Amino acid sequence: MANVEKLSVALTPDMVAEVRAAVEAGDYGSVSEVVRDALRDWRLRRKIETLETDEMRRLIQQGIDSGPGLDADEVFATLRARFGQQPKL
């Protein structure tokens, strides 16, 4: 890695133990690899959350744009009148 910067990070003893265990188990070559992998996962999770939020906004706007809603009680009353009362399970 040609362009790196060293940082000091404070971790709880439990986190330190997990990081060291991952290196000792051979899952990672160094503590730095564990931290870099965790940061990549964090970045991905933030990206997914942003996409999910954007999708929710889009769907909400689509619902608003579709026009006024229907009263649920009236809809269910119409369905019961048309198809009869269904037995409760």
What is the number of structural domains in the chain?
1
> Which of the 8 DSSP states describes residue 64?
H
> What's the pLDDT at 84?
83
- On the question of pLDDT at 87 being above 70, the answer is no
Cα separations (Å) of 45 from 12, 51, 54, 73? 22, 10, 14, 40
- On the question of pLDDT at 89 being above 90, the answer is no
Find the Cα–Cα–Cα–Cα dihedral 77, 82, 88, 89, rounded to 10°. Answer: -130
Could you report the per-residue pLDDT of 53-77, keeping only the tens digit for each? 999 999 999 999 999 989 999 999 9
In a domain, 68, yes or no: yes
Could you report the per-residue pLDDT of 7-53, keeping only the tens digit for each? 999 999 999 999 999 999 999 999 999 999 999 999 999 999 999 99
> What's the pLDDT at 11?
96
In a domain, 89, yes or no: no
In a domain, 72, yes or no: yes
In a domain, 50, yes or no: yes
What's the domain range around 55? 13-82
d(CA 24, CA 80) in angstroms, rounded, equals 65
In a domain, 5, yes or no: no
